[in-house]
Amino acid sequence: MRYLWIVISASTLVGCASTGKEHSSLWNKLWHKNHKEEVTTDKAPNNSTLPDVDLSKEPGLLEQYHVGGFSLGAWVNQTPGQSFQPVNIRHPEAAMVYLYRPYTQWNRQEIAAPNFFLNGKRIPSLINNHYYWVELPAGSYRLSSSHPLMNMHFQKPKLLDFDVEAGQTYYIKYEEQGFRTGGSYKKPFYLMSEQLGLREIMETQLKSPGISFVKYDDIEPVALAGNIHQGQYQKVDEDELSDKERLVLRKPFKIWNPLTW
């Protein structure tokens, strides 16, 4: 009987020790699980004033079918520009992206220019012999274009998803003629090599102010920071970047009246 109590006491102590270990192990598993979920759900800070976009998804119906602004092409908008000059990257965590469209007879006869969107935000269109620059924080972006009928958008957007690294320079060419006439181009957007892109963009003109989508401490995030060439950044109202506000014609444009025959 005396030994029976010793056996019962020893069994109780072992059971308590095992239960304590199991509780400790269970607590550690739960803590690590919660900690892991917190780590994986944290998102990297967005240093861009552009909206976020999921590059794994195709554009939705609202991006294809909507009512919005439009831009006049080079047949109407014959505003001369300035010769190409490289722009220094201002922000240490940003990259410089040049968008350009070379001179062609096809581009020169265009009445309505395609609309351009960067992460869903409309940016200036490219007309014939035209370039401008965009400063972007390091990250991934989606550039899209579509041809509206006046202000009615119904065409499926053409896409270019690309990544930029801090301190680097990129050249994106928009070539529509070879794409639409069954030529060798499979898409209108091309990420060019620095050597070829620099050589081609030298022939184009700056017809839109450059735009920075980097968050600067002294510039409100809701404003676009734009300048021409090496001037200081300034707050620019989005209306000032619209093609209608910058439209200058060499000769008056009149709608044809069939009664004048």
Cα–Cα distance, 52 to 219 (Å, whole number): 20
**DSSP conformation class of 210:** E
Query: Which tokens hold the place of 204?
Result: 């184009």
Cα–Cα distance, 65 to 102 (Å, whole number): 29
pLDDT at site 249: 32
Cα–Cα distance, 211 to 141 (Å, whole number): 15
Other CB atoms closer than 10 Å to residue 228's CB: what's the count? 15
pLDDT at site 60: 62
Residue 151 contacts residue 68 (beta carbons within 8 Å): yes
3-class DSSP assignment, residue 239: helix
> Chunked in runs of 10, what are the mean pLDDT values of the chain (261 residues)?
50 48 49 45 62 80 58 70 90 94 84 87 89 95 81 72 96 78 64 93 92 75 41 47 37 43 36
pLDDT at site 68: 61
pLDDT at site 58: 77
Query: Which tokens hold the place of 148?
Result: 């509206």
Cα–Cα distance, 127 to 110 (Å, whole number): 8
Other CB atoms closer than 10 Å to residue 79's CB: what's the count? 16
pLDDT at site 160: 92
pLDDT at site 257: 47
Cα–Cα distance, 35 to 38 (Å, whole number): 5
Query: Which tokens hold the place of 33?
Result: 């699980």
Cα–Cα distance, 69 to 81 (Å, whole number): 23
| Helix spans in the chain (H) | 2-41, 61-64, 105-108, 177-180, 194-201, 243-246
pLDDT at site 216: 75
pLDDT at site 243: 41
3-class DSSP assignment, residue 228: coil
Question: Strand runs (DSSP E) across 102-196, as ranges?
Answer: 112-113, 115-118, 121-123, 130-137, 139-146, 152-153, 158-164, 169-174, 189-192
Q: What is the pTM of this model?
A: 0.65
Residue 97 contacts residue 133 (beta carbons within 8 Å): yes
* Amino acid sitting at position 85: Q
Cα–Cα distance, 201 to 101 (Å, whole number): 8
CA 208 to chain centre: 17
Radius of gyration of the chain (CA): 29
pLDDT at site 40: 37
